[in-house]
């Protein structure tokens, strides 16, 4: 497996060795509570204050509040609470203040979510209005100019986490000044620290939250800057730590680690310069352009952080790219880490008016200012290797092919269709193709030069046949005229279609597939609309529980030693396998993509009955493969729980 190249720094970064050492020291000798008045406490307090002093110098904030907290979500929360409480109090006093909160359309979800929460809880009744961005992802200053006089609170970010787009903070400040807006202004500075110059006290910014883990400090430590005389309401009350502004015993290990990072920033001898980072990005951009000639960048590079690239490749979804990059050991993401588990399109790209296909294909590559040239070299080489893997045809015969025809499962949200294909004649037949996959299936056929003979439906399916023919611009939806006849074992003669050397026989709204031997159908699959076709010869399935099928990562080495004859099957797609073949405790895995497992089932049920261990990246696909084999009667099909990422 490929060693990891981490290009997801906007999600989080590794910890600077000096920061880890500082945290260890703070937990060992320097474990004192900074509120204690004895020597151990005094030492902790001195450390905390020296980090604060350094932060003030680095952020250009000699004045105003600078409190340590758990991170930007807390800082945003505190700023929102402070601003909304101030609005409520001003209203109660009969003072004029705006009725709008303007929220940058591309803000991190922490901002609109906190605003909605506190606006409701405090009963402030402010109208939360989105401040749109233009196609470059920058705030629409014309809209701001129009609304600024009514704004009570304006929330914008210094740089966007998904696209790296750097906001025109000077432009925003000027509009607020010119329109004599009374608005308080929060600028989420999370992605700016260490990448953009900051001079907070000299700016008009009222609140600026930071998170340490975006710049080589650990998770769980952050800072909030609040301008002098700007309203402030503590989010947490208790022991009065941080001058009563943020109660709770301080995270001294985090503060010490953040101090080491800030120290490095101030010394200027640790992180790469802006020019060096730009050069690194230019090389990645060139590698992407060379490897994927149609690549489109979703934010103008001249307005983006030098450490972030957001791109889309026509014809490849974000998931396609991510899977193959991950197999090659390149850790990138489709957008923000918080939304990685959701399949929702990016609100950031939507706000920029990026076409849907680019949103569905978007990939974010981000690195930190510690990046080394050698890592960029390796990343460029792997991008090229990934492009080669992604260009592989999907309809290929596999090493264990039974007869000639292949069977691909077309699975979408629990519904399944099937594609029977014959590589020799380049012909294929689709059964119950899901509508949602019609475009992708058509692209797969056309890329492989396949001729679609028919798109058929069983009693259960059918909706996608027309869509597939329309997208593929070929094939007939429904049983075509002029087929042949096939004889079944029971003597019946039924209409059939030839697919290479095999035949598909129509029996009412069921389809039987196999080869004619001595003029009689030797059956391989029966498609009757069930989730898995009937695979013949049939084997009686022994009873099993789901738990019997899962092997824990900690148990796998022992299991492999106890089953030297077992076959390890990598069920990732062929492209992932090409980008990073899989080896498990010295065993080379055989690649049979999940979509092709049914095709191979009879081989494993009858011809080669060794125990099977299915493996994939996260454990989801391998669990399904094991379940399919067990349901078809295989007594010894296993799956590696959690995937090889844990093994």
Residue 107: CB minimum distance to ligand PLP, A: 8
Q: Which is nearer to ligand PLP, 253 or 595 (CB)?
A: 253
Binding flag, residue 13, ligand PLP (CB under 6 A): no
Query: Any idea which residue has 């949602």 for tokens?
Result: 436
* Least separation in angstroms between CB 231 and ligand PLP: 21
Site for ligand PLP in 209-228 (CB under 6 A): 211, 213
- In the three-class reduction of DSSP (H, G, I as helix; E, B as strand; rest coil), residue 236 is classed as coil
Six token digits for residue 336? 């923000």
How many Cα atoms occupy the beta-carbon half-sphere of 275 within 13 Å? Answer: 0
Please report, as residue ranges, which positions from 404 to 463 form the binding site for ligand PLP (by CB under 6 A). none
**In 105-251, alpha helices (H):** 110-122, 141-147, 169-178
Do 638 and 611 meet the contact criterion of CB atoms below 8 Å apart? yes
Name the minimum Å distance from CB 192 to ligand PLP.
9
In the complex with ligand PLP, the residue whose CB is nearer, 310 or 458, is: 310
| Span from 71-79, 129-137, 448-456, 536-544 in contact with ligand PLP (CB under 6 A) | 71-79
Active-site residue, 338 included: yes
Per-residue buried b or exposed e for 482-510, using 16+ beta carbons within 10 Å of the residue's own CB: ebeebbbeeeeebbbbbbbebbbbbeeee
* Nearest CB to ligand PLP, comparing residues 167 and 602: 167
Nearer to ligand PLP, 69 or 639 (CB): 69
Nearer to ligand PLP, 161 or 416 (CB): 161
218 vs 619 by CB, closer to ligand PLP: 218
Q: Candidates 105, 157, 332, 453: give the one binding ligand PLP (CB under 6 A).
A: 157
Segment 239 to 258, residues that bind ligand PLP, using CB under 6 A: none
With CB under 6 A as the rule, give the number of residues binding ligand PLP: 13
Q: Minimum Å distance from CB 112 to ligand PLP?
A: 11
Exposed, middle or buried, 481 (CB in 10 Å: 0-12/13-18/19+)?
exposed
Contacts of ligand PLP in 299-338 (CB under 6 A) = 336
124 binds ligand PLP (CB under 6 A): no
Applying CB under 6 A, does 165 fall inside the site for ligand PLP? no
| String marking each residue 166-205 x if it binds ligand PLP according to CB under 6 A | ----------------------x-xx--------------
Residue-wise DSSP of 75-144: HHHHHHHHHHHHHHHHHHTT----SEEEEETT--THHHHHHHHHHHHHT---EEEEE-B-TTS-B-HHHH
- Distance between CA 522 and CA 267 in Å, rounded? 77
Beta pairing partners, 515: 502, 522
Q: Which two tokens stand for residue 533?
A: 């076709």
- Report how far Cα 138 is from the mean position of its chain's Cα atoms: 24
Q: Which is nearer to ligand PLP, 254 or 580 (CB)?
A: 254
In the complex, the smallest distance separating the C-beta of residue 239 from ligand PLP, rounded to whole angstroms, is 23
User: Mask: binding to ligand PLP, 482-501, rule CB under 6 A, as x and -?
Assistant: --------------------
In the complex, least distance from residue 215 CB atom to ligand PLP, rounded to whole angstroms? 11
Cβ atoms of residues 8 and 332 within 8 Å = yes
Q: What is the 3-state secondary structure (H, E, C) of 504-567?
A: EEEECCEEEEEEEECCEEEEEEEECCCCCCEECCCCCCCCCCHHHHEECHHHHHHHHHHCCCCE
Binding of ligand PLP at residue 72 (CB under 6 A)? yes
Look at residues 126, 129, 85 and name the one whose alpha carbon lies nearest to residue 105: 129
Of 69-77, 385-393, 443-451, 479-487, the segment contacting ligand PLP by CB under 6 A is: 69-77
Cis peptide upstream of residue 537 (ω within 30 degrees of 0): yes
Beta carbon of residue 220, minimum distance to ligand PLP (angstroms, whole number): 8
Judged by CB under 6 A, which stretch of 65-73, 533-541, 553-561, 568-576 contacts ligand PLP?
Answer: 65-73
Site string for ligand PLP, 267-296 (x = CB under 6 A): ------------------------------
Q: Which stretch binds ligand PLP (CB under 6 A): 67-75, 401-409, 457-465, 638-646?
A: 67-75
The token pair at 478 is 């429904």
Among 67, 69, 73, 312, binds ligand PLP (CB under 6 A): 73
- x-or-dash string of contact with ligand PLP, 101-120, rule CB under 6 A: -------x-x----------
Residues 6+ apart with CB under 8 A from 126: 84, 87, 99, 100, 101, 119, 152, 153
User: Which one, 221 or 601, has the nearer CB to ligand PLP?
Assistant: 221
Q: How far is the C-alpha of 88 from the C-alpha of 126, rounded, in Å? A: 10
Task: Pull the structure tokens for residue 348.
Answer: 């950031």
The answer to whether 352 contacts ligand PLP (rule: CB under 6 A) is no
Strand order in the sheet with 451-456: 406-412, 415-422, 427-431, 451-456
Residue 45 Cβ vs ligand PLP, minimum distance, rounded to whole Å = 25
Q: How many C-alpha atoms does 195 have within 13 Å on its Cβ side?
A: 31
Choosing from 237, 280, 338, 428, the catalytic residue is 338
Query: Shortest gap between Cβ of 478 and ligand PLP (angstroms)?
Result: 51
Active-site residues, by number, are 338
What is the contact surface with ligand PLP in residues (CB under 6 A)? Answer: 71-73, 108, 110, 157, 161, 188, 190-191, 211, 213, 336
């Amino acid at each position: 497996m490929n060693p990891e190249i981490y290009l997801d720094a906007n999600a989080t970064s590794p910890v600077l060795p000096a920061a880890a050492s500082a945290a260890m020291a703070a937990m060992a000798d320097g474990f004192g509570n900074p509120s204690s008045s004895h020597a151990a406490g005094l030492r902790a307090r001195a450390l905390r204050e020296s980090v604060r002093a350094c932060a003030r110098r680095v952020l250009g904030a000699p004045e105003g509040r600078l409190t340590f907290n758990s991170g930007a979500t807390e800082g945003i929360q505190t700023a929102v609470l402070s601003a909304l409480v101030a609005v409520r109090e001003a209203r109660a006093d009969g003072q004029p203040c705006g009725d709008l909160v303007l929220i940058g359309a591309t803000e991190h979800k922490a901002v609109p979510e906190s605003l909605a929460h506190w606006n409701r809880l405090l009963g402030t009744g402010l109208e939360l209005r989105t401040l749109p961005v233009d196609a470059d992802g920058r705030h629409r200053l014309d809209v701001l100019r129009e609304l600024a006089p009514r704004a009570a609170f304006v929330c914008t970010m210094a740089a966007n986490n998904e696209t790296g787009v750097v906001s025109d903070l000077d432009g925003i400040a000027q509009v607020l000044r010119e329109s004599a807006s009374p608005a308080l202004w929060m600028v989420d500075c999370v992605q700016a620290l260490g990448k953009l110059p900051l001079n907070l006290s000299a700016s008009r910014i009222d609140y600026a939250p930071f998170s340490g883990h975006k710049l080589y400090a650990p998770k769980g430590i952050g800072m909030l800057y609040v301008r002098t005389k700007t309203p402030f309401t503590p989010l947490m009350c208790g022991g009065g730590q941080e001058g009563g502004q943020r109660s709770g015993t301080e995270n001294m290990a985090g503060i010490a680690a953040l101090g080491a990072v800030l120290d490095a920033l101030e010394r200027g001898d640790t992180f790469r310069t802006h020019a060096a980072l730009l050069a690194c990005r230019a090389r990645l951009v060139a590698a992407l352009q060379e490897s994927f000639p149609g690549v489109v960048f979703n934010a103008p590079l001249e307005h983006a952080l030098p450490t972030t690239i957001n791109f889309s490749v026509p014809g490849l979804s974000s998931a396609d790219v991510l899977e193959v990059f991950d197999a090659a050991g390149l850790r990138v993401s489709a957008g923000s880490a918080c939304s990685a588990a959701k399949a929702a399109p990016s609100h950031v790209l939507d706000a920029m008016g990026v076409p849907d296909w680019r949103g569905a294909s978007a990939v974010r590559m981000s690195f930190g200012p510690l990046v080394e040239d050698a890592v960029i070299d390796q990343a460029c080489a792997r991008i090229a290797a990934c492009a080669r893997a992604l260009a592989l045809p999907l309809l290929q015969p596999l090493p264990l092919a039974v007869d000639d025809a292949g069977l691909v499962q077309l699975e979408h949200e629990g519904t399944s269709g099937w594609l029977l294909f014959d590589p020799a004649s380049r012909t294929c037949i689709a059964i119950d193709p899901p509508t949602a996959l019609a475009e992708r299936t058509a692209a797969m056929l056309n890329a492989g030069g396949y001729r679609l003979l028919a798109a058929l439906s069983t009693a259960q399916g059918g909706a996608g046949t027309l869509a597939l023919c329309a997208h593929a611009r070929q094939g007939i939806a429904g049983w075509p005229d002029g087929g042949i006849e096939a004889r079944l074992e029971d003597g019946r003669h039924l209409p059939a279609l030839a697919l290479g050397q095999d035949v598909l026989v129509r029996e009412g709204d069921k389809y039987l597939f196999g080869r004619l031997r001595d003029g009689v159908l030797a059956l391989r699959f029966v498609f009757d609309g069930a989730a898995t076709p009937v695979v013949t010869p049939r084997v009686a399935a022994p009873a099993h529980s789901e738990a019997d099928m899962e092997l824990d990562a900690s148990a796998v080495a022992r299991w492999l030693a106890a089953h030297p004859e077992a076959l390890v099957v990598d069920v990732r797609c062929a492209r992932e396998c090409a980008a990073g073949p899989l080896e498990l405790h010295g065993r080379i895995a055989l690649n049979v993509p999940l979509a092709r497992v049914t095709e191979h089932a009879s081989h494993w049920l009858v011809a080669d009955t060794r125990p099977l261990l299915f493996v994939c990246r996260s454990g989801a696909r391998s669990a399904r493969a094991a379940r399919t084999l067990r349901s078809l009667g295989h007594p010894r099909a296993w799956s590696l729980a959690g995937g090889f990422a844990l093994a």
